[in-house]
Amino acid sequence: MEIVQLAIEALKFIFPAYCANAVPVIAGGGLPIDLGNNFLDGKPIFGINKTFRGFLVGLAVGTAVGLVESIAFGYRLEFGLLLSLGALFGDLAGAFVKRRFSIRPGDMLPVVDQVDFIIGAIVFSLPLSLQFESWQLFAAVLVITPPIHLLTNFAAYKLGLKNNPW
């Protein structure tokens, strides 16, 4: 598969996860998923930026995008749901790691911030990813995501949707 075609297929594949990860920035807020509780180390479990509303709206939007892709591209119906769940749980795992290193919500942890949600999405989608040339597609997703993530975060910052450009 040529590089341009692979990049297009990677974007189509991962787009529900991108949406699920991005929407909480706009639609989040409210009750934190960790309910304000701390972990055994006395630090917050996930932090105040990881909320039930953001998670649920991200899941709904990512799943809806996946449904549209299922119709348009013949993907299995469950695909968007699994990618979205994986992206959101991957992001929670990244937040958990950041809190262990005493990195405040919203502060950057390079690489982790750009790929945590993608790794979660790939892992959750593995049962349905057999229809794809998986290793090449997954590698392409990991290559294209960091610059896309940085550009979209910068745009969200410029639009006033985020407090920092990363």
- pLDDT one digit per residue (tens) for the chain, 166 residues: 698 999 999 999 999 999 999 999 899 899 999 999 999 999 999 999 999 999 999 999 999 999 999 999 999 989 999 999 999 999 999 999 999 999 998 899 999 999 999 999 999 998 887 656 678 889 999 999 999 999 998 998 999 988 888 8
Q: So where are the chain's domains?
A: 16-131
Nearest to 26 by CA among 165, 166, 159: 159
Half-sphere exposure of 14 (CA within 13 A, CB side): 31
Does this model's pTM top 0.85? yes
Written as one letter, the residue type at 94 is: G
Q: How far apart are CA 88 and CA 95, in angstroms?
A: 11
